[in-house]
Structure 1
Amino acid sequence: MLTASGCGGTGRELAQFFDVTRLGAFVTRSITMAPRAGRPTPRMAETPSGLLNAVGLQGPGVEAFLTQELPWLAERGARTVVSIGGGTVAEYTALARRLADAPGVTAVEVNLSCPNIEDRGRVFARDGSSAAEVVASVRAATRYDVPVIAKLASDVADIVAVARSCVDGGADALAMINTPVGMSVDVDSMRPALAAGTGGLSGPAIRPIAVRCVWQVHAALPGVPIIGMGGVTSGRDALEFVLAGACAVAVGSALFHDPYACPRIQRELEELLTERGFDRLADAVGLAHHPPGSGPRGRTDLEESSL
């Protein structure tokens, strides 16, 4: 069980409610080279079963992160996945180099849903070759023992093709999905609900999209670890991602109204797995792809009876 990037603050906020070392990993907001003030307000708006946001990667920049935020997490023994975002391949590379020798970095998550300012603002995640170039640059600049995770977007023509390009570029794992682009108009003010107009949609509304993406990528790349995310609010939601092919699950917008969501969902997932006869979560990963009648470890009823 992980936090989704941007939904757990710096870690200090969640630590008021539970021990962050109990998480599979704490995922930071996307860190940028320079401080960023973010987009103008309003930049969050509720929608049916969802939440729109256009925060704009607000943050203090990598230097402040390395001196103020990462040490706090490292001192407490939290497994920390550092999410990074940039506007050019060179910026991603520079970020990876700054993190290469930083103690306490468990993995690097490459947020590919950033506009490429060198290519008319096209989002990296929507082009397989651009995404692969970023991933390859980060992989080359990161210590060999630190996994690189490519975070993918759903609003692409072929997410399997993008996923395959990222793996070919050196990604050790994939995270999906990032928030798809949405919009809401306030009918009273007759203006967009967000100052930026559009924003990323999260919450239960996107879970079927996220499960579909995990399903497709796992089917095509069964040996690649996948972190599933998008609208996880319960253990049943988490199990759905696992059965579709995710070996880990991240919780995002649920934390905004329930700061205890991660330990609660983990407990619910463990109970569901036990009820269904699983000894390990790994035995359930991708089981929905197996033939009907498969047992808890992927064996069919006939295979079970012959053992």
Structure 2
Amino acid sequence: LQNIGVEALIKEKAPIWAGWRLPVIVNIVGETIDDYAQLAGKLDGVAGISGIEVNIGCPNIKAGGAEFGAKPESAAEVTVAVKAATSLPVLVKLTPNTADIAEVAMAVAEAGADAISLINTLKGMAIDIARRRPLLGSITGGLSGPAIKPVALYMVYEVAGAVELPIIGCGGISAASDALEFIMAGASAVQVGTASLTNPRAPLDVLEGIEQFMEKEGIKDTAELIGVARL
């Protein structure tokens, strides 16, 4: 995943974040478990960084390219390594590309995760019919946006029933109603990603919409909504 790298982030970005009133959580990725541990260690204690989100939807090179989050065992190994390397809160971002996401969630919870975020992108592809070849150079890629919302919502619902950790729901949220669905399914918070690419105000629009809903319904705290749709 393209980015400026951890050293540049610490030098150029963190000092800016340190002046913000909002917490900043840094997402880390690696090709080996040691990569994750090293990144977490470098970010530990850096002013302006309030937490680490561990992206385990990346290929584990030593395991032949399978995603770290595809199996409970490897997901737990990454979590343990990161927790040992940092005193910051650790959120583990789960991949939907697994046989049983609830089982993976339970594994990272037992390994010490402070919270869980889900879902990461779904694996997909497209074909250029003129060239008769895959459209992406890597053949497959990550599908995000509104198309994956029903899958993400279902998986948040499943994980909320399996662990007691706070859950951050994400995947196709572009309006307040989407966010409210995730909260009612069991999420304590949400992420807005793809929608921000076309509307930079999307996160604020979602927040304002939630506030309007709560005022209309006479709800004082979002805690009153977390998991209310669970049967």
TM over 0.5: yes
Amino acid at match of 1:209: V
Matched, 1:142 2:83: no
Query: Which residue pairs with 1:47 in the alignment?
Result: none
| Per-residue deviation, 1:234 | 0.3
| Per-residue deviation, 1:189 | 3.4
Q: Identity percentage over the alignment? A: 42
Q: Deviations over 1:203-243 (max 9, x none)?
A: 1000000000000011122x210000000010000000000
Amino acid at match of 2:44: A
Superposition RMSD on alpha carbons, in Å?
Answer: 1.1
Q: 2:125 aligns with which of 183, 191, 197?
A: 183
User: Higher relative contact order by CA 8 Å / sep ≥ 6: 1 or 2?
Assistant: 1
Query: Which residue pairs with 1:90 in the alignment?
Result: 34
Matched, 1:220 2:162: yes
2:191 is paired with a residue of what secondary structure?
Answer: strand
1:96-107 correspondence to structure 2 within 5 Å: 96-107=40-51
| Per-residue deviation, 1:104 | 1.4
Matched, 1:80 2:28: no
4+ residue runs of structure 1 moved beyond 4 angstroms? none
Query: Which residue pairs with 2:139 in the alignment?
Result: 197
Query: Which residue pairs with 1:70 in the alignment?
Result: 14
5+ unaligned residues in a row in structure 1: which ranges? 1-56, 291-307
Give the TM-score taking structure 2 as reference length. 0.97
| Per-residue deviation, 1:78 | 3.4
Q: How many equivalent pairs are there? A: 231
Q: Distance in 2 between matches of 1:99 and 1:193?
A: 36
Query: Which residue pairs with 1:116 in the alignment?
Result: 60
1:1-307 correspondence to structure 2 within 5 Å: 57-143=1-87, 146-221=88-163, 223-290=164-231
Query: Which residue pairs with 1:10 in the alignment?
Result: none
Report the structure number with the largest CA radius of gyration: 1
Give the TM-score taking structure 1 as reference length. 0.73
1:75 is paired with a residue of what secondary structure?
Answer: coil
Q: Distance in 2 between matches of 1:275 and 1:188?
A: 52
5+ unaligned residues in a row in structure 2: which ranges? none
| Per-residue deviation, 1:171 | 0.3
| Per-residue deviation, 1:276 | 2.5
Q: Distance in 2 between matches of 1:235 and 1:76?
A: 25
2:119 is paired with a residue of what secondary structure?
Answer: strand
